[in-house]
Amino acid sequence: MVKVDEVKKRKFSSVVLVALQFTGLGLLAVTGSVFANHLVIQAFQIAFVGVAFWGIWEMRKSRLNVFPDVKKGARLVTSGPYHWIRHPMYASIAGVTLLSLFDNFSVTKLVITALLWIVLIVKTRFEEKLLIEYFPGYKAHQRNTGYWFPGV
């Protein structure tokens, strides 16, 4: 049984991580267009956005939540992009921001992207700990899928 203090700590951590993620995305938007000017890079970014929407679509089978917390009654989704990777939405953010950096490099954008990636990694690890606690089959799902990208 999880103690009340632990639940409060988890909720606080979730809120902070989501706030940092959206702050990073907002700061990137202020540095200029997040979408590339080069058509080939833009096509890959659109593909990443498509994977994100596919992930959101598949999550409708569970209880979609922007916070890493697992809501009561949630169901582990292993279909769609979750069949190959565990975090398609984070992977999409990582891919779009990295490609944006390649297309329109600046030191400011590099620093913000690096900090955003650190937040996403911390958030992913935090979320995975919660998923392991909530879903008995999550460890097996981890062994069979990539973190952000298939095979990785």
Tell me what the mean pLDDT of segment 35-45 comes to.
94
pTM value?
A: 0.90
Domain boundaries, the chain: 4-144
pLDDT at 71: 86
- Tokens standing for 47? 């593909």
Domain covering 4-144 in this structure, CATH number: 1.20.120.1630
Rounded CA separation 42/77 (Å): 29
Cα 61 to chain centroid, rounded: 18
pLDDT category at 149 given cuts 50, 70, 90 is: confident
Q: pLDDT tens-digit profile of 50-91?
A: 999 999 999 988 876 788 888 888 899 999 999 999 999 999
Give 141's Cβ-side CA count (13 Å radius): 19
User: What integer best gives the mean pLDDT of the chain?
Assistant: 92
pLDDT band at 46 (very low <50, low <70, confident <90, very high): very high
